[in-house]
Amino acid sequence: MSDDGTVLCPGSYDPVTNGHLDIITRSSQVFERVVVCVVNNPLRKDRTLFTAEERQAFIEAATAHLGNVEVRIFSNLLVQSARELGAKAIVKGLRAISDFEYEFEMAQLNRKLDPEIESIYMIASPEYSFLSSTGVKEMATFGGDVSDLVPGPVAAAMADRLAER
Ligand code: PNS
């Protein structure tokens, strides 16, 4: 397979939501190979609910039926990972105008770091336009039902992890 069709889908994925999976699935239908990059940010490590390995395992389980998707943990610059993996583009979801400002900055920073890596934005499906990992964690913390917002195993693991705290 040529590397020309490889894209990265980066994120914290703490935890992966059905909105993330919508973007990953749609990307897998457009591009040859999708590498989901789970950020292992040392600055945020003690603030994540799940370890990078746990986040990776949740995504691997939820995308096992997609033959052209793989999941990796990364702890360097995204454009560096893109170069190493032969990816020409970074694909991210855009939910609302409020996402735009942050994503505009990220796209410009990444362009400055490597003008050859393109940033591509996919508009979130309407049913997921309100969905974020932060919102899901807050709902679960206060006993809200998140079963139709995240994969089943993630909902169960969140309940367990939050009960430990
Ligand atoms: O899910 P998130 O938290 O919005 O994802 C943010 C992420 C991981 C995409 C972003 O923090 C990132 O790209 N981090 C890697 C470091 C990097 O390359 N930064 C860009 C320019 S400084």
- pLDDT, the chain, mean: 94
Best residue for ligand 1 mutational test, from 49, 73, 75, 78 (most atoms within 8 Å of Cβ): 78
CA of 77 to the centre of ligand 1 (A): 8
CA of 88 to the centre of ligand 1 (A): 17
State how far the Cα of 4 lies from the Cα of 88, in Å rounded to an integer: 7
pTM for the full predicted model? 0.94
Ligand 1 atom 10 nearest Cα: 11
Q: Alpha helix locations (H) across 31-151?
A: 52-62, 78-85, 97-113, 133-141
CA of 78 to the centre of ligand 1 (A): 7
Q: What does the pLDDT read at residue 58?
A: 98
pLDDT digits (tens, 9 = 90+) for 43-88: 766 789 999 999 999 999 999 999 999 999 999 999 999 999 999 9
Report the residue count for the chain: 165
State how far the Cα of 128 lies from the Cα of 20, in Å rounded to an integer: 9
State how far the Cα of 117 lies from the Cα of 58, in Å rounded to an integer: 27
State how far the Cα of 149 lies from the Cα of 154, in Å rounded to an integer: 10
State how far the Cα of 146 lies from the Cα of 135, in Å rounded to an integer: 10
Quote the tokens at residue 139: 């709902």
- Please give the torsion angle defined by the CA atoms of residues 28, 96, 125 and 52, in that order, rounded to the nearest 10 degrees: 50
